[in-house]
Amino acid sequence: MAFSPLVDELVESLRCLPGVGQKTAQRMAFHLLERGREGGERLAGALEQAMSGVRRCDSCQNFADTELCPICQDVSRRNGTLCIVESPSDLLALEQAGDYQGGYFVLMGHLSPIDGIGPEEIGVERLLRRVQDENVTEIILATNPTVEGDATAHYIADRLADRPVLVTRLAHGIPVGGELGYVDGFTLGHAFRGRKPLAD
């Protein structure tokens, strides 16, 4: 840039955000410099803290500030039910719907052999240990209703076939091909209540 290496570096750095190209990064940088320095300083601090401080929960794999996330720390939610989701935003959508009171397991993705993401990468062994250790009686497969989400759900169901655990799948109300994080709470609640055992 013609006028400021600091502005240059800010524009370049903003491009690490998803969906932000050169023009958008420039607009963001100028906006912060002109009218949002306080916000920019707050964001700098939040980024620094989060990038170094956020870890994965030892039990559910979700983002957490401590070894166990608040949900896993809550003994009232260890009721023998585990809901399997692909991502933290899916978990958030379900929590905001408010229908569900059990535990979670966050895969942080789905099976995708072409990208080198196998059972180990999404934590299937860890999940199977939890099913055993915590005497889980029901696994609710809430992966996204996509080809990859369905394949992941079926793989997990297969691995649980010889365990004394009911395997269910969120049922109807979820638009096919959609993403769980964008579904409204009413529809999610409906899908929870309408869940049914997974058929082969």
| Residue 87 vs 144, nearer CB to a second copy | 87
Print the binding letters for residues 107-126 with a second copy: x by CB under 8 A, - otherwise.
-x------------------
In order, the DSSP letters of 46-86 are HHHHHHHH-EE-TTT--EESSSS-HHHH-GGG-SSEEEEES
Give kind and range of the element (H or E) at residue 104.
strand 103-106
Q: If binding is defined by CB under 8 A, does position 85 make contact with a second copy?
A: no
| Residue 23 vs 199, nearer CB to a second copy | 23
Looking at 88, 119, 173, 185, which residue binds a second copy (CB under 8 A)? 88
C-alpha 20/C-alpha 150 separation (Å) is 31
C-alpha 110/C-alpha 152 separation (Å) is 6
Q: If binding is defined by CB under 8 A, does position 12 make contact with a second copy?
A: yes
Q: How far is the CB of 195 from Zn ion (least distance, A)?
A: 22
Q: How far is the CB of 157 from a second copy (least distance, A)?
A: 25
Q: If binding is defined by CB under 8 A, does position 161 make contact with a second copy?
A: no
Footprint of Zn ion on this chain (CB under 5 A)? Answer: 57, 59-60, 69, 72
All residues at 6 or more sequence positions from 92 whose CB lies less than 8 Å from its CB, including other chains: 181
Q: Is-contact 185 97, C-beta < 8 A?
A: yes
Q: Give the footprint of a second copy on this chain (CB under 8 A).
A: 1-7, 9-10, 12-14, 16-19, 23-24, 26-34, 36-37, 39-54, 57, 62-65, 69-71, 87-89, 91-92, 95, 108, 181-182
